[in-house]
Structures are given as C-alpha cells and as structure tokens.
Structure 1
Amino acid sequence: MTYNSFLKRLFIVLKTKWLLNLIKGRVFSFASFDMINNLYKIESNLTTIIDVGANKGQFQKAANYFYPSANIYSFEPIPELFEGLVKVSNNNITNYNFALGNEKGELDFQKNKYFHISSFLDISKKNTDYPKNDVEIIKVQIRTLDDMHEELNIHGKTLLKLDVQGFEVEALKGAVNTLKKIDYIIVESNFEELYKNQPSYTELNAFLNLHNFEMRTMLDFNMGKDGNYIEADFLYKKR
C-alpha cells in the first residue's frame, strides 16, 4: 500500500462510520462506503440503483446499507466475480451476468488477474500503474440498458453507477432513452491514458451534458505511483 493510499483510507475511517460498522461486524469496502456516504449527504432517498460493473458487490453492499428499501440491479460479466456477487445479495437485489454497451452482441473481454482492471480495452503502453500481464481473453455477452429497461422496475429517484474501465461512454450510448428516467449518475473517468482508445473526461462530460446532466461533485479518486490523480468517480445530477 502506498503512503497516499494509507492516508486516504485513514481519512475515510476518521470522517465516516466505517470503523463503527466494522466493530459491529459489518465489513465494507473503504472506497464504496465513502462514496455512498458522500452521496447520501446529497440525496438520502433513492428508490432504484443500477450498478454497472458490480465486481464482487462492494458498491452494492454499501448502497444496500444506506438505501435498504431501494431496488438494486447489478451487472457483472466476469463469471468468478458474479458468483461472489450473488452470495452477498438479498431479496431486493437482482444480478445479471453480462455487460452493458452500445449494442447487443458478444465481444472479447480482457479478464485481468487483477479483476478490477479488466476491460474490453487494451491497457495502454503509457500506463505505468496497471500490470499488463496475466490477461485471459473471454467472450462476454453484451446488452444495452435501453433494451432492458422494461425488465427493470425503474421508478422514483434513480441512480446509475458506471465503473467499466474505459467503456463508460459505450454503455451510456446504449442507455439514451433510459437516461430520461435517471436522476443521478456516478461514473468513473480517467485523467491519464490507462486504456487504449479510452474516452477522455472531456468527451464523457460533453456526452452527459448533452443528455441533460451536470457534474455535481467528485466522490472518490485514485492516485498513481507518481502521486498524480489518474482516475476519479464523479456524481452527475439531472438538470
């Protein structure tokens, strides 16, 4: 763990109830708990949460703690992670073992040994922060959120969370009609070229502005080996 990572985690422990929950036997991801804690201060009443790129369920678990009555729909294409995701779910959570993109079909997906950096995109040669080995190519089914919206009970205040390692704009392009029902979006964006052909923050921001969303605040960030910000999670709110 880097010195900056240690300070970040210490800051989260001091400013949130993360440690109190740990004492009570509730273990949460540092980043997800802090992110949802910050969101809750802005919006305490969410009815629907769509978690795209759910990983092992870190965000899902924290979201279910802060919003216990919300319907949560989680999407995770990696089979090993999906199995763990199902284990931490309860009755108000529905999980899907496929990815969301701009069109229905199947694509090669780079499953990294470090699951959290797996992506449809190649890791950039300019990227010095992510390991480039131990990659397995798997086939992943893709659907669009617009294609699925009738299957999802989207109602009330709704959050869409996207953490799909450079594929965020593609997922949003497949959700332009569903975005009309969305009130908040949490989306990860990169400041450095972590993946080949990844959209820039400027492109992502322009797309969301075009669809009537404005950046509200930054909820979380990651720093690289040189101490620079390499990526961050932003909260967007519908105008």
Structure 2
Amino acid sequence: MKKIKQLLHSVFRITGREFMPYTYENFYSLRRLKIIKKHNINLLLDIGAHNGLYGKELREDGYGGRMVSFEPLEKPYRELEERVKADPLWESEQIALGDTVGEEVINVSGHLTSSSILDISNAHVGACPSSKTVNTEKIKISTLDTIRDKYTRPDDKIYLKIDVQGYEKHVLNGAMQTLPDIRLLELELSLTEMYQNGPTMIEMLELMKNKGFRLVAIDPIFSDPVSGYLLQADGIFVNTNLVD
C-alpha cells in the first residue's frame, strides 16, 4: 500500500498536481467545518460573498445551518441570487457592510473578487496584473449593527466571515455591538499592504486580540508568483469570551 501511495504521488507531481487524502489535516475547508461543528454554529454571516462559492463549498462539506450572504456588486450578486433560490436556509442581500449607512463607490477590479472600496496597491497589481481597477460602481452600504436584527435570533451561534479586500476594519467598526455575540470570525489577512490604507496581518492580529478573539486556523491563499512570498491568508478566530 505504501508503494502504491508513493507511485500515485509521483504520477500526480509529474502533472503538476498532488495526491493526498481528503481529510481535515490536509484541507483547510474541512478544518473550518470541524471548528464550526465544535462551536455548534447555526448561522453564517457571509460578508463579501461574491457569487456564493464560499457558501456552496460549506454546503458541500456538510454545513447544514442558515446562511446570509452580502454582496454589493451587480454581476456576482445575480449569480449569488440564483444559488440562494435553491436553498431554503440561505438568504442574500445586495449591499456592502462597513461603518457608514448610505451609498459608496466601489472600485471594480478586472479580477472581480479583488474589487474594493479602497484603492488597490501596486504590490497587488504587480502580483496579479488582472486585478487592476477597470471601472467603478455605486453601491449601497450599511453596518452589521444596523441590520443584525433583520437576520439574527437571540439564540444564534454565529460564524462571521469577512472578505472585503482591505475594508475589514471598517466592517468591524460597524459591528461593535454585534462582535461580543460572534463565536467564530474568519478574516482575510494581508502580510503586505494590498489596498491603500488597508490593515496588515500584524495590525489585525493585535486588533482581534484586543477584542477577545484568538487565531485558531490559517490558510495561505495568495502568493507573489515571482518571489514566492505569501501575500494573503485566511484566518479563523474564536471568541475567547464565548468558549464553552
């Protein structure tokens, strides 16, 4: 059996792929699900949902609770809407979340998932040229504290996922009343400034520590193709004040 595994690894590597068991040790998505189950999460608030691939992956991995996805951009939101229609426990709203209520202008990236209210940095465009801004779009914006009663219940155990391309601090500033009730929080963390005036990973780790959240999982997601340097990672934090 060991020789067969070694052979499979060799064959896959020749094709530029890797062969490994689909277990939580090898795959971040399954580690995330394991953490979600440990904390009995029954509601996901998905901020910066794009077209719903994150929610789709969670469903495929086995998460069966409620989900609410927020996405401001017109094109990906239409795709998200179609996904939500087929799932009675999944809701969506076309809106951005931050620390203001009203309207904003978002920079639309050629690589749509890189779109942000903040200006993209040279480091980001250098590592991914297609991410440069190609357009702008007027969007609705609100705060999580403003809309939480619309989607949450007093007994919910909440997982908050924030993927907002450098706008994380603004979302957190608009969720000060809600954060104490968040059991798990997932953030995109930047090792270098990927958006102008966007926070770095060091800043976010200190901020989350001060708010009572501890980093318990991390997943590298974006590296510079020339240097190999890691640029961004996803991190999961647990609210130490709500640990069972």
- TM-score past 0.5 threshold: yes
Structure 2 residue aligned with 1:104: 101
Paired with 1:209 and 1:133, the residues of 2 have a C-alpha distance of: 33
Give the C-alpha shift of residue 67 in structure 1.
4.7
Amino acid at match of 1:78: L
Counterpart residue identity of residue 191, structure 1: L
Counterpart of 1:230, as a letter, is: L
Amino acid at match of 1:232: A
> 26, 29, 42: which is aligned to 1:36?
29
Partner in structure 2 of residue 29 of structure 1? none
The answer to whether the 8 A contact 1:111-1:135 is kept is yes
The superposition leaves residues 173-207 of structure 1 with CA deviations (integer Å, 9 ceiling, x where unpaired) of: 10111111110011001112221111111221222
Residue pairs, 1:79-90, within 5 angstroms? 79-89=74-84, 90=87
Gaps of 5+ in 1: 1-5, 18-33
Contact 1:35–1:220 under 8 Å retained in 2: no
- How many Å apart are 1:98 and its aligned residue? 0.8
- Structure 2: 5+ residue runs without aligned partners? 1-12
1:58 aligned residue: 53
Return the TM-score normalized by structure 1. Answer: 0.83
What TM-score results when the alignment is normalised by the length of structure 2? Answer: 0.82
**Which residue matches 1:228?**
229
Equivalent residue, structure 2, for 1:173: 173
Q: Does 1:130 align with 2:128?
A: yes
**Pair 111,86 (structure 1): closer, same or farther in 2 beyond 3 Å:** same
Task: Report the CA distance shift for 1:42/1:126 in structure 2 as closer, same or farther (over 3 A).
Answer: closer
Aligned length: 217
| 8 Å CA contact retained: 2:107, 2:116 | yes
State the alpha-carbon separation in 1 of the partners of residues 71 and 135 from structure 2: 16
How far 1:10 moved relative to its partner? 4.2
- Whether 1:15 and 2:44 are equivalent positions in the alignment is no
Calculate percent identity across the aligned residue pairs. 25
Taking the aligned partners of 1:177 and 1:10, their CA distance within structure 2 comes to 45
Counterpart-to-counterpart distance in 1, 2:120 and 2:133: 12
Distance 1:130 1:39, change over 3 A: same
- Out of 124-133 and 176-185, give the one that drifted further: 124-133
* Counterpart contact for 1:117–1:130, Cα < 8 Å: no
Q: Secondary structure at the match of 2:64?
A: coil
Preserved CA contact (<8 Å) 2:115 2:133: no
CA contact (8 A) 2:117 2:167 kept: yes
SS in 2 for 1:108: strand
- What is the CA distance between 1:114 and its match in structure 2? 1.1
Out of 65, 71, 74, the residue aligned to residue 76 of structure 1 is 71
Q: Aligned Cα RMSD in Å? A: 2.2
1:2-45 deviations in whole A, cap 9, x for unaligned? xxxx99x945x63327xxxxxxxxxxxxxxxx443111223323
Asked if the contact 1:38/1:219 (under 8 Å) is kept, the reply is: no
More displaced, 76-85 or 106-115?
106-115
- The CA distance in 1 between the partners of 2:63 and 2:202, in whole Å, is 34
Decide which structure has the larger Cα Rg and report it.
2
**CA distance in structure 1 between the partners assigned to 2:220 and 2:157 by the alignment:** 22
SS in 2 for 1:183: strand
